[in-house]
Amino acid sequence: MEQIFGQRKEASENGEHWLTISDLMAGLMMVFLFIAIVFMLHTQKENEKIKSVAVAYQENQVAIYDALMDEFRDDLPEWGAEIHQETLAFNFESPEVLFDNGKITLKPGFKTILNDFFPRYLAVLKPYRSSLDEVRIEGHTSSNWNANSTEKEAYFRNMSLSQGRTRSVLYYLYGLVPDETSWIKRNIAAVGFSSSRIVLNDNGQEDAERSRRVSFRAITNADIQIKRILEAES
C-alpha cells in the first residue's frame, strides 16, 4: 500500500512522486465534471433543435389556419362548416347536406360544395406541402344506430358507415383536379372514426347532429422532424 499511495523514501530522494488518495480523487472528480458538462451541452443543443422545430410547427399551424380562413371565411356559414384552429380540421357539419341517413352516397348538394371547395383547398395548402405529413378525410358519426343494437353493434356499424363515406368522398375527389391526381394519391387518406370522437354540447351530452360530420385535416410533419433529430443525435 505504501508503494501505491504513499511516498517511498527512496523514490522521494530520487525525485519520483506518487499520487496521494486525495490527488487521485480530485483527478477523478475533474474527469466526471468534464463528462457531465459535455453531456449537458449535448442535451442543451438537442433540446434547442427540438424547440426550434416546435416553434416552427406552431408558426406553420397559424399560417395554414390564417390562409384557410382568408380563403373560406365567407363560405363557412353557407356550407355549414367551421375550421378548427388547433387541429386544422375543416369540418362540414350539416349532415342533411352530406349524406342520406345511413347511406354512403354523396348528396348532390355536397358534390356542389366539394366542386367549389376542393380545388381551392389544394391551392391554399400548396405552399405548405413540404411541412405536411398527409391530408386526412375523416368520417365521424353519432353513437346512435337503432334501438335494437347493442353498443358494440352500433359502434362497428357506424365504423363501416364512416369508412364508406370517406371512401366515397375520396373517390369523388380523385379526378376532380387532374393536375393534382398523383399528389392526391400519395398524400390524401380516407379514415372512418365511427363515434369515437363525438361532439358534446354545453351540458356535456352528445350533440348527435354536430357529431355527424366530414372533416378535411391537414396534418403537419413536426413529429417526423423531431424523430429525425433524435435519430441523428443517437
Nearest Cα neighbor of 6 from 21, 24, 26 is 21
More confident residue, 27 or 113: 113
- pLDDT of the residue at 166: 97
Residue 117 in domain? yes
Q: Quick check: is 7 in a domain?
A: no
Give the mean pLDDT of 171-186.
96
Task: Answer yes or no: is pLDDT of 1 > 50.
Answer: no
pLDDT band at 53 (very low <50, low <70, confident <90, very high): low
C-alpha cell of 20?
A: 496521494
Measuring CA to CA, which residue among 138, 222, 130, 105 is closest to residue 183? 130
Please report, for the domain that includes residue 164, its CATH number: 3.30.1330.60
Percent of the chain's residues with pLDDT above 90: 58
Binned at pLDDT 50, 70 and 90, residue 230 comes out as low
Q: Is the pLDDT of residue 156 over 50?
A: yes
Residue scoring higher pLDDT (53 or 126): 126
Report the pLDDT value the prediction gives residue 34, as an integer from 0 to 100: 74
Q: Is residue 143 part of a domain?
A: yes
Inform me whether the pLDDT recorded for 4 exceeds 50.
Answer: no
For residue 15, what pLDDT is reported? 47
- Cα separation, 102 vs 157, whole angstroms: 10
Specify the pLDDT at position 125.
Answer: 97
How many domains are there within the chain?
Answer: 1
Got the DSSP string for 100-150?
-TT--SBPHHHHHHHHHHHHHHHHHHGGGGGGEEEEEEEEE--S---TT--
Indicate if the pLDDT at residue 218 is higher than 90.
yes
Instruction: Report the percentage of the chain scoring pLDDT > 70.
Output: 76
Domain assignment present for 200: yes
Q: Within a domain: residue 193?
A: yes
Q: What is the mean pLDDT of the chain?
A: 84
pLDDT attached to residue 221 = 84
How many whole angstroms separate alpha carbon 73 and alpha carbon 68?
8
Q: Is residue 125 part of a domain?
A: yes
4 domain residue, yes or no: no
Lowest mean pLDDT among 28-37, 144-153, 219-228: 219-228
Mean pLDDT of 132-155: 90
Establish if 103 belongs to a structural domain: yes
Range of the domain at 176: 60-229
